[in-house]
Amino acid sequence: MNYIDEYRNPAIAQALLTRIRHRAKDLKREITLMEVCGSHTTAIGRFGIRKLLPDSIRLVSGPGCPVCVTSIGDVDRVLFLAIQTGVIFTTFGDMLRVPGTEGKNLQTLRASGADVRILSSATEALDIAKENTQRRIIFMGIGFETTAPTIALVLQIWKKQRIDNLSLYSVHKIIPPAMKILISDRSLNIDGFLCPGHVSTVIGAEAYRFIADAGRAAVITGFEPIDILEGILMILEQLAGGSPDVEIQYSRGMHKGGNSRALDAMETVFATGPALWRGLGEIPESGLFLKDSYRIFDALNHFEIPFLNTEEPKGCRCGDILRGLTAPDQCPLFSRLCNPAHPIGPCMVSSEGTCAAYYKYRDGR
Ligand code: SF4
């Protein structure tokens, strides 16, 4: 297939659904699949895929929205940094309305005078730094393996150009360690994963080998409805054949070995370490932190952050939603008190958040 319409072709979708129904019947049990990526969650809601699947297939959403998995502690620290004297705080738009412990967010801080700027690319921070040499520019780096390589390349430019009024606050994370935690969670009992196509273009297929080794199916899947249905069918075929593997449905977008240049860029700048994920707790080797040779850019070199008493938003079940334990409409606040206009938790803020996707596509989910 060469054109986007072909990936949304109703006849092809119908044929795949028929095969999915047959396979599901053969398996004679309930199957739990997780879509790990926020873009998958959004596409599944948008195209009403969950509703089309047989009742025996349970499709749960995972921790694939970077803003949503950012811990409340990191959100509070970011809000602290944004109001420090002389600081210009920069980040991507999705972070703007994520509430901290006291309900404030970057948008409310900006309204009360903080210099918070939304960037579409980290390179813009460089221009801001050159235009404001007397001020400290903090860039909040957020995202998984899809975003981290570009930030790593930008940091290499910062270093080359000796820009010393720029700093990074990194909450970058990598996906496989979180999936390992989900596999070991007996309350979830996930049979197979729709692995994120975008992240996989960087890390490659073998990065998921641990999934097959744990006896679960894994298919790296694209983001159109035909991709997702085909990915689900491939998982069911693996389960029916009793031979879990890592397969690539998204072959038009990635090489099996990933992107070595992107991996090198990350490797040059970042080292992995333990990171706190909302809902999943501290996960070893899951956070990306500046290596010693880049530590001069660490925002924490310039500010001492006091102990902050952090607390999740009252009644918000984002933690359970990010582990696939509950669906947004099981949260008592969903829609009534928490909606995109008045989000209580991060899963309703981000465009990739599970609650936001359920709300937007609530009639078709
Ligand atoms: Fe949190 Fe709102 Fe989602 Fe409930 S609906 S889990 S309050 S973000």
The pair of three-digit structure tokens given for residue 310, joined into one six-digit string = 């952090």
Position in ligand 1 atom list of the atom nearest CA 359: 5
> Which tens digit of pLDDT belongs to each residue from 156-169?
999 999 999 999 99
Which residue out of 347, 358, 365 has the highest number of ligand 1 atoms within 8 Å of its CB and is therefore the one to mutate?
347
> Would the CA dihedral through 152, 294, 169, 123 be positive or negative?
negative
Measured in Å, residue 132 CA sits from the centre of ligand 1 at 39
Band (pLDDT 50/70/90 cuts) for residue 40 is very high
Locus of tokens 């790593």: 152
> Which tens digit of pLDDT belongs to each residue from 261-292?
999 999 999 999 999 999 999 999 999 999 99
pTM: 0.94
* Residues having CB within 6 Å of any atom of ligand 1: 316-318, 321, 328, 331, 333-334, 338, 344-345, 347-348, 355
> Which tens digit of pLDDT belongs to each residue from 220-265?
999 999 999 999 999 999 999 999 999 999 999 999 999 999 999 9
> Would the CA dihedral through 77, 83, 85, 91 be positive or negative?
positive
The pair of three-digit structure tokens given for residue 120, joined into one six-digit string = 């579409």
